[in-house]
Each structure stands twice: as structure tokens, then as C-alpha cells.
Amino acid sequence: MTQVPGDYVDSDELDRYEDAVLKYHRGEIDENKLMVTRLQQGVYGQRQDGVNMVRIKVPGGRLSPQQLQGIGSILEQYSGEDIVSITTRQDIQIHSVALGDTPAVLRELADMGLTTREACGNTVRNICACPLAGVCEREHVNVQPFIEQTVEYFLRHPLTQHMPRKFKMSFSGCEVDCAQGMIHDVGVVAVSENNRFGFKVLAAGGLGHKPREAVVIESFIEEADLLPVIEAVIAVHNKYSDRKKRAKSRIKFLVDRFGADGFVEKYREEVKRTREAYTDNANHVKGEWQAGCGDVQYYAGAPHEVVAQKQLGLFVFPIAISLGDLTSKHLRGIAKLLIDEKIDDVRTTQDQNLILVGVPEHSLSSIRSGLTELGLAEPVVGDNVVACPGTWTCRLGITSSRNVAQKLTGSAGDLLVRVSGCQNGCAQPTVGDIGIHGEAKRIHGKLIPHYRMHFGGDGRAGGRIGTKGPEVPAARVDKAINRIQETFLASRENNESFLQWNGRQTLDYYKELLADLIHVSASDVPLVLKDHGDKKDFKVLQLGGGECAGVSQEDVAANFSEAAMERSYLRSFLLARKYQQAIDCAVAITRLVGQSLLRSAGKAFNLDEPQEIAAKIKEYLPSHPYLFEPLAVFIGELNRFEHSLEETGTEQHNFDQSGFERLLKMLNGWTVLAGHYCQEKNQAVDFSSSLPETQLTDLDFQDPLLAASLQATTSTAGATLAAASAVSTVISAGSPSNTGS
């Protein structure tokens, strides 16, 4: 059992979410303000008004029978549909939940140790695992504990709260990389090299409208190095990824911008810092590493038949879940079966199925018959069809992916067929044998639903992004896929795979093979006008875009988030007596917070020098001396500390550490004041969690009168001019160069 309720769930957060929903219903906050919180809690808008999709994060796909049962109960009570969906990232989505019911759903999920936090928006999304983690004969290590360590580390982490765009990670237990690191922002792969065991790390891969294979940023790292390495990649994303153009803000676009070598260079700059600052070395996960049996041939990816585990006498039992749809009968039935058979490990897979893990030999037949009663069974050849929700519930859907998917098969060749309803490719069409994504084409004056085809893709090691094929009207795409499969089966040589067969075809091959299906004459139009399952003529809804990108992130919020990161590095450096680095962090904070002040005042300057920033703040915010005067003091003081190091050497023991710490307290106090000012100017984004917890009243000032005036100031963001001046005076008066001299 891996779920630990306390670690992932924060009940205060759920209270705040419920509060926000109530306020929205009373008209006290608007839709945009609610959206920020809503997305942070994994609650998506749907195509249909007033109802939401709730995405449950399932790290590594691991669930317990009790959790399956609980999800079944939620489905019955709150969902407008009769199914929940397994996603291609091992999450579970509950559909059509009335907004007013979402707080209750989140609480019920929390009660069973499940979180939806950061399942959507510009966050670190669910982390995928290779399906047989812990039980595969090939694996070098069980990646699940490493995933949990990573989830815990980054959930609610300041660096991940205001990212330019989402961030997806995968972990695989061996070089085969069944979790598909190639298509992830970070892919971690356990490797064995000359009797050493560790991880290879891939980065900047991704699909969507511009698929790209990941690059290798570390060919070998020790397990203790894992978190600083991942943190460095996220730091690169935060620093450089485009925050304005949503379509270009995934980290993979930085490889276009900098080149692969340039990207790795940026990563190396960041990892130098994260490695220095990372102090948790003693507590890192220590895996049980082994060579594994390299030759064992499993079905690529999740197994499609019962397979033996490395643990003697235990088996993995896969269950075919058509389109990833689970009814409450399925959920309750499977849960009961598992509880009766004392099996507690059930996992979602990236191809939208379930696998039962740790099944003793004697239970296999009772599992099988129990599932038969539920109308479920092991996968069969040809049923590997993966689909996204498409126009059923998704705001971005262009075509009815699920409807056409139901008509498709992988054929006797057992191909992996992937169906996406739009170019965003959530069903990963570019890493399937045959993948298709929906779009609309205007022909003879009419808008006709089409699918773009992709061939011969594979997300595992040694794989590739599929080749772009022709566009076929939706009405004919099932026929097109059928024809390709039949041709493949008839002409394949020596039992070659579809990937191999496809590799031998030219680009024009498919155009010729499908020519009659591709072409739409004027008289054809009425026949191809409707999408699968539609009664009316095809129309693409204009729903104002999806929410997958979260709210457009203000640079200000990002700056405060980065400042929070610098504060945490600073602490580490101080502990390690790396004073120069600590000073650099403090300088970075003055720069970040100072820039935020200017932006919030409507002035965006690209200034680097804190002195210049301070001068501009004075120029444009003259009535807020408490915002620029302390900054001037900090700059002077930090210079002084830096000089003291130069004179005596960086690691000297007579560095005025307590003086430095007093300065930092005041720096935090100033950050809080600046934060209040900026928050007032940027109501749409809530970055209060990025501010230091310092109360200005915590500052250690001797004079009780001055302390009292500080208390008065902090009660409201709109400090009066007099009180604000008092604060600035106090901060200046309290600076180390003034006292004791």
C-alpha cells in the first residue's frame, strides 16, 4: 500500500476551495477568480455548462481496492455520467460533476488518500510509472518509491506554483522505458552501467501539436542526485519558457530555441546550483538495485496476458477496459473481488486498462470467473484502441473520438491504435502504430470533419514520433485504418511488426493506398458531412479555448515564486556556510521583488542591477518610501557583506552570520510589504503562498514604540504614508551598519 493520506492532502486547502465555490455562487467572486483555485484543485470546465471534470492524480497508477470502491461511490452520487475514465497518464477522470458538488467530491477523495491537487493547470502533473514497477523481472529498481518521493517534494513546491506551462514526468525501471520517457518533459530511466546502478534522465520531450523527442541530459546519475536534477530542469522551464505564447510554452520549445546543446548547457547552469543547495542527502530514497534479467520478453508496455512476476508464485493479471471506461458496477465488483482474494495492488495503465498485481497462482481462475460476471476479461488480440474524450466532454474536442474508436480494432496484427479528438493529442496519436487526430477541413464550402493520420510511432526506448500521413474524412477513417491493417497483414514479411513494415513504405504510399478515401468530390459532401454519432451537421464549437494551460500567469507571481525558491536556496547555503552563494541569493531576491514592484506599478523595465531597480521604484512609486528605501539599505549592506568575504576569504568563520540573518529578516519583511502592494495590483493571481511567513512584528527591534507602529502598518496593504515611513525608518535604523557602530 502506498497511499499516505496526510502527505498529499491538505484539508485547509479544501476548505478554501469550498469557500471559493460558495462565494462564486453568491456572486462575490467572478469566474476568472474561481478558475485559478478550481484548476489548482484538478477541477476542469467541460463542454457542457455548469458541470466539471474532476481529475484524480494517481502517481504511478497505483490504487487500492478501497479506493476503487470509493471512486465507484463518488461516481454514483455525483457524476452525471455512468462511467469514469482511465487516462493515458494513469489518472482517473470523473465527469459531469455539478460545480457545487465538487468540494464534496474532493473531500471524499481526500478521505481515501487521493488528491486532485495540481492535476490540471501549469503544474507538475501526474507522474507515470512503468506498469510492472516492483514486479518486473527486467527492472533494475522499483521506481514507485522514487515517484512518491518526487511527488511529495514538488507538490505545493514554490517553484512549481507559477510555471509557464504544465510539466509531465515518467519513471521506468529499466532501459526499455515502458513509461515512455521520450515523450515527457522529464523521463527518468533506471540503468545499469559497469556494475553501477543509477538513472538516465531525458528532458524536453512532448507531443501536442508539435511533437518532439526528449534529449538526454544525464546519461548516468546516482539515486541521491535525482531531486536536484529534476529541480534544475523545472528551474530551466521557469526561467526560460515562454509565458506569453501558450502554444509555445512547454519546455520542449526551448530545444528549438537554444538547440539541444544549448538546452543542456542551461540545464547544467541550474543543476550546479540545485546540487549545491540540496541538503536532504541523508533522507533520499535508497532503492534495492539489481541487474534484472535482460532478455525477458514481455508485451511491450503493459502486459496483455497473465505474466509471472519476479516474485515466485505471483502473477500480473491484466483487465481489458474498453476505452478506459469503468462503471460503478465495475469499480465495486473489482474492489470486492480483490478484497475477497486479498489482493491490494491494482494499477491503471497508459493504454487505459487495469492490471492486478501480486495475484497468487491459486487465485487466477477465481479472478477470471469473478471478472466474467462483471462482463470483464483479459485483453484479446486487436483490442488495443486508446481514445481521448473528444467532443463527448472536452472543450477542445473537434471530433467525436470515442465514437469512432468504438468502431476500430488493432486487427489480428494487434496494432496499437490511438484516437484523439484534436491536434493536442491527449491520446498520443504520434506514438502508436496507427494514430489519428481530429480536425476540420473546409471543402466545397462546407466544414467537414477529418482525421490526420500518423504511422509507426513508439514512445519507448529506440522509438520515434510517427510519420505524418494523409488526412481522411472522419466518415471514412475507420475504413482507411481497416484497409491499411489488411494490407499490412497480407504483405508483411517474416512476421515483422507494423513499425518495421511501415519503415519500408515511402511517404506517398499511404496517399496512394487511400486515394479514393481521401478525395472528397462535391457529390461526396453530404456523405462525409456528419461526424460519427452526430445527428446534425458537423460544427466546431467556439468555447473560448480549453483550460489545460491554466490562467495566463503574470510575471509578478512568477517572480515571487522564484524569490521563494531563492529563499530556500539561501537557507541551504547558509547552513553549509557558503556565504557568497547566500549573498547571491539575497541579491537575486532584491532583483526579483524589485522588478515585481515595477511591473505592478505598470512599468516593465528589463533591469538587472538592484541599484537601477531601486532608483526606478523611487521614481515611479514616490509615495511608497517603505518600498524603495529599505531596498537601498539592503543593497548597501549586501555589498558590505560581500566585501567582508573578499578581505578574509569566503569560508572564514568570522563572517558576521548573525548580522546577516538580521538583514535577511528585514529582507523578508520588505518582501511581505512588497507582496501586499503587488497583490493589490494583481487580483487575478494569488501568490500569497509564495511570500515569506515573516511577520514584520517578528523583526527584532529594541524600541517598543517602533514595534507597535510596525504592527499597525501590517494590518492592511494600504498602509498610510506616515506608518509606511515609520516602517522604512525602522528597517533603516535596525540595519547592522547602524546598530553597534
Partner 1 sequence: MTFVVTEQCIRCKYTDCVEVCPVDCFHEGPNFLVINPAECIDCTLCVPECPVEAIYAEEELPEEYSQYLKLNEELSNLWPVINEVKPPPEDAELWAGRDDKLQYLQRNSES
Sites of contact with partner 1 (CB under 8 A):
209, 245-248, 396, 398, 422-423, 439-442, 447, 540-545
79: which 3 cell numbers?
457524476
Q: How far is the CB of 401 from partner 1 (least distance, A)?
A: 14
274 or 399, CB closer to partner 1? 399
- The SS3 call for residue 62 is strand
294 or 545, CB closer to partner 1? 545
Burial of 376 (0-12, 13-18, 19+ CB in 10 A): buried
**Pairing relationship of beta strands 124-129 and 167-172 according to DSSP bridges:** parallel
Q: How far is the CB of 441 from partner 1 (least distance, A)?
A: 5
Residue 3 CA to residue 144 CA, distance in Å, equals 11
Residue whose C-alpha cell reads 533603516 in the numeric block: 732
Q: How far is the CB of 520 from partner 1 (least distance, A)?
A: 12
191: which 3 cell numbers?
540503468
Contact (CB, 8 A) for 294 and 354: no
Q: How far is the CB of 538 from partner 1 (least distance, A)?
A: 11
111 or 537, CB closer to partner 1? 537
Q: How far is the CB of 264 from partner 1 (least distance, A)?
A: 24
Contact (CB, 8 A) for 374 and 334: yes
Helices (H), 350-503: 364-373, 401-405, 474-491, 498-503
What single DSSP character describes residue 496? -
Q: Is 484 left (phi over 0), alpha (psi -120 to 50) or beta?
A: alpha
163 or 548, CB closer to partner 1? 548
Q: How far is the CB of 246 from partner 1 (least distance, A)?
A: 6
- The SS3 call for residue 361 is helix
245 or 643, CB closer to partner 1? 245
335 or 529, CB closer to partner 1? 529
- The SS3 call for residue 274 is helix
247 or 705, CB closer to partner 1? 247
What single DSSP character describes residue 553? P
Residue whose C-alpha cell reads 453530404 in the numeric block: 526
Q: How far is the CB of 475 from partner 1 (least distance, A)?
A: 17
35 or 726, CB closer to partner 1? 35
469 or 736, CB closer to partner 1? 469
Q: How far is the CB of 395 from partner 1 (least distance, A)?
A: 10
Helices (H), 84-243: 102-111, 144-154, 226-240
Burial of 359 (0-12, 13-18, 19+ CB in 10 A): buried
Which candidate, 398, 526, 387, 507, places its Cα nearest to that of 450?
A: 398
Q: How far is the CB of 123 from partner 1 (least distance, A)?
A: 20
Cα 575 to chain centroid, rounded: 31
Q: What angle do CA 673, 679, 684 make, to 5 degrees?
A: 170
211 or 675, CB closer to partner 1? 211
Q: How far is the CB of 439 from partner 1 (least distance, A)?
A: 4
